[in-house]
Amino acid sequence: MKLYCDPISTTSRPVLLFIAEHELPVEIVHVDLMAGGHLEPDYLALNPNGIVPFLVDGDFKLGESAAILKYLARKAGSGAYPTDLQGRARVDEAISWFSTQFHAYFCLMVCYPNIGVPHGAPPELTQALMAYGADHAPRWLKVLDQHMLAGRDYLCGSEITLADYLGVSYVLLGELAAYDFAPYPNIQAWLARMQARPHFAPVFERFFGLVAYLRGQQAAA
């Protein structure tokens, strides 16, 4: 198997962390997003969407991080994707929630504008997005803190699931905006728990390097 990815991307990190923790025999192929590697003709011929991650398993090809996580978990027989109907549905619910509600209000509006996304947007649009996100993201952070993580070590119970692999990458985008999670103690405890996992630091190394670089640039401005 091969995984085409870039650890700087939010969507690649969950899959890389899962692969590392499960010691899966997957060849990692670096697609350098900063250099436009995802737009190279050879990569577009493989994956017309031109995004990462992208999994190739023999003749089978699969995009989208949530789908890749589920495929790998089933293939590995991982308990991170439960086999019982309701347990699996609960994980699917959390994955969908992060990919829709949380991603829209927190990632797209609060975090990404700090790295110039959407690219080429007028400054007034960027400011409006950030202002709207600042007003509305706390609603979803409260749901995460006071309901999804209340009394739990992980999102769906006492054990890590695919929802945690995906969700932590989304929440940590707050580092791009130096977001203050102090009002959300359950989120803070969960983040600390995830970051203490043995394979977390090497998988997230490039992301935190980007954060440090951006903060240095802001301080120098």
Eight-state DSSP code of residue 25: -
pLDDT for the residue 114? 85
List the structure tokens of 214.
């951006």
List the structure tokens of 18.
């899962």
Q: What CATH topology corresponds to 2-76?
A: Glutaredoxin (3.40.30)
- Selection from 36, 174, 66 nearest residue 112 by Cα: 174
- Could you give phi then psi for residue 139, rounded to 5 degrees? -55, -45
Chain segment 125-163, per-residue pLDDT in tens: 899 999 999 999 999 999 999 999 999 999 999 999 999
**Does the structure show a pLDDT above 90 at 116?**
no
**Where in the chain do CATH 3.40.30.10 domains reside?**
2-76
In this structure, which long-range contacts are made by residues 125-134, counting pairs with CB atoms below 8 Å and at least 24 apart in sequence? 133/105, 133/106, 133/108, 133/109, 134/109, 134/110
Chain segment 153-191, per-residue pLDDT in tens: 999 999 999 999 999 999 999 999 999 999 999 999 999
3-state helix, strand, coil in the chain (%, to 5): 60, 10, 30
**Where in the chain do CATH 1.20.1050.10 domains reside?**
85-220
Rounded CA separation 56/29 (Å)? 11
* Complete DSSP assignment for 140-176: HHHHIIIIISTT-SBTTBSS--HHHHHHHHHHGGGGG
Q: Does the pTM exceed 0.85? A: yes
pLDDT for the residue 218? 77
Q: What CATH topology corresponds to 85-220?
A: Glutathione S-transferase Yfyf (Class Pi); Chain A, domain 2 (1.20.1050)
Pairing of strands 27-30, 54-57: unpaired
Strands of the sheet containing 60-63, edge to edge, are 27-30, 2-5, 54-57, 60-63
As a whole-number percent, the residues of the chain with pLDDT over 90 amount to 91
Is the CA virtual torsion 177, 178, 179, 184 positive or negative? positive
Which run of H or E residues covers position 19? helix 12-22
The number of CA neighbours under 13 Å toward the Cβ of 63 is: 9
Average pLDDT, the chain: 96
* Complete DSSP assignment for 55-97: EEETTEEEESHHHHHHHHHHHHT-TTS-SSHHHHHHHHHHHHH
List the structure tokens of 1.
């198997």
**Does the structure show a pLDDT above 70 at 25?**
yes
Quick one: pLDDT band at residue 221, thresholds 50, 70, 90? low
Question: Could you tell me which residues are beta bridge partners of residue 103?
Answer: none
